[in-house]
Amino acid sequence: MPPAVSRFRRTSKAEDYSQSRKSNKGEKMLSVVVKKGMDTTFMLEEVGEPIPGPHEAIVSVEAVSLNLGEVRLGIMQMTADTRPGWDFAGTVERSAADGSGPEVGTRVVGFTEGGGWAQRIAIGTRALAELPPAVTVQQAATLPVAGLTALRALAKGGLLLGQKVLINGASGGVGHLACQIASASGAKIVAAIRQDKHCSQAFADGAHEVIVDPSLAAAHQFGPFDLILESVGGVALANALTMLSRQGVCVSYGNSSRDVASVDVSKLYLTGSPRLEAMFLVSEMQHEAPSIGLSRLVRAVEIGQIKPRIEVEAPWEEVDSIAKQLFNRQIAGKAVLNIS
């Protein structure tokens, strides 16, 4: 008699992907969604499970961090039922069908343009970086937007060794990491903050001088600067442009004041050849995979070069309260939510 033929065979990732699309239909999970016309803006609600594309992994999210920009968008601009969330960290639950990226069970950190505040997320593998054992998911969750912004903005200044760097908003999520990265790169740092109580922290992050002046005018005495990181806009940006060295660079990556900057261009061009560069993180990440910068950042955390400052850690059921504290500038540094 012929030998029995097994009815079982190993399925390919492509077949697993096809099966997952079928099995996920109708299944639910929890996610943060935006609500309008209510006392609560950010609310947990059941949504459909993510259905990954061939190049996407499914990540079981364990921690997320909040950024002022996305909170402001949620409160002021996002439509009802939009799912916010840029920063997340967790464990790969299903690897990508095309074979790219980390395997199942790998702890990862990732960046997404929305929907990250959820129990699970389908995310392209180019946006994921593996976590070494020494880095917690809470630390990692602080890194995507703040860390990548700091890293890319500082890179526009070139070699920072011995250079003068002015960092506005040095006590914030981006600023405190930018100070630490610039310090590790050998820069001489002037940190600008809004409140006296954050002075000691700015010095601990590597600042050589600290000013408490939202307008940045007090920084003139320490200039000119080879690199300025600016995200407030208005009069702060106008003053920053008058403090650049002959070939200095001012990187503008935000306008939290929502004010227009009135610039005396003669003070710019008479300096030599300084320049103003605008930076939008999403555009930057189209040219360089987020995984590249995230890998550098988690390595820096692992070896102690940078220490993310988590000011608030709470369960994600408190998302609305924490988000509004951040919006009202009651939180400096990073706020992290743990997902149950």
Residue where one domain finishes, among candidates 236, 263, 278 = 278
Domain that holds residue 31: 13-144+306-338
pLDDT for residue 25? 58
Mean residue pLDDT of the chain comes to 91
Residue where one domain finishes, among candidates 233, 259, 278 = 278
* pLDDT, average across residues 198-224: 96
Q: How many domains does the chain have?
A: 2
Let me know if residue 290 belongs to a domain: no
pLDDT for 267 beyond 90: no
- 266 pLDDT band, cuts 50/70/90, is confident
Has this prediction a pTM greater than 0.85?
Answer: yes
Let me know if residue 211 belongs to a domain: yes
Q: Are residues 140 and 255 in the same domain?
A: no
Let me know if residue 320 belongs to a domain: yes
Q: Are residues 134 and 19 in the same domain?
A: yes
pLDDT for 294 beyond 60: yes
Least confident piece of the model among 204-213, 254-263, 277-286? 254-263
Return the CATH number at 38. 3.90.180.10
Let me know if residue 30 belongs to a domain: yes
pLDDT for residue 24? 57
User: pLDDT of 93-137, one tens digit each?
Assistant: 999 999 999 999 999 999 999 999 999 999 999 999 999 999 999
Return the CATH number at 221. 3.40.50.720
pLDDT for 2 beyond 60: no
Q: Are residues 220 and 101 in the same domain?
A: no
Q: Are residues 270 and 176 in the same domain?
A: yes
User: pLDDT of 305-331, one tens digit each?
Assistant: 999 999 999 999 999 999 999 999 898
Q: Are residues 173 and 231 in the same domain?
A: yes
pLDDT for residue 132? 97
Q: Are residues 226 and 318 in the same domain?
A: no
Let me know if residue 149 belongs to a domain: no
User: pLDDT of 125-180, one tens digit each?
Assistant: 999 999 999 999 999 999 999 999 999 999 999 999 999 999 999 999 999 999 99
Q: Are residues 52 and 115 in the same domain?
A: yes
Let me know if residue 248 belongs to a domain: yes
Q: Are residues 169 and 268 in the same domain?
A: yes
For residue 124, report the phi and psi dihedrals to the nearest 5 degrees: -60, 140
Residue where one domain finishes, among candidates 278, 295, 315 = 278
pLDDT for residue 276? 95
Check residues 272 and 321 and name the one with the higher pLDDT: 321
Q: Are residues 135 and 17 in the same domain?
A: yes
Let me know if residue 150 belongs to a domain: no
* pLDDT, average across residues 54-66: 98
Q: Are residues 18 and 99 in the same domain?
A: yes
Q: Are residues 167 and 270 in the same domain?
A: yes
pLDDT for residue 11? 40
- 268 pLDDT band, cuts 50/70/90, is confident
Q: Are residues 244 and 266 in the same domain?
A: yes
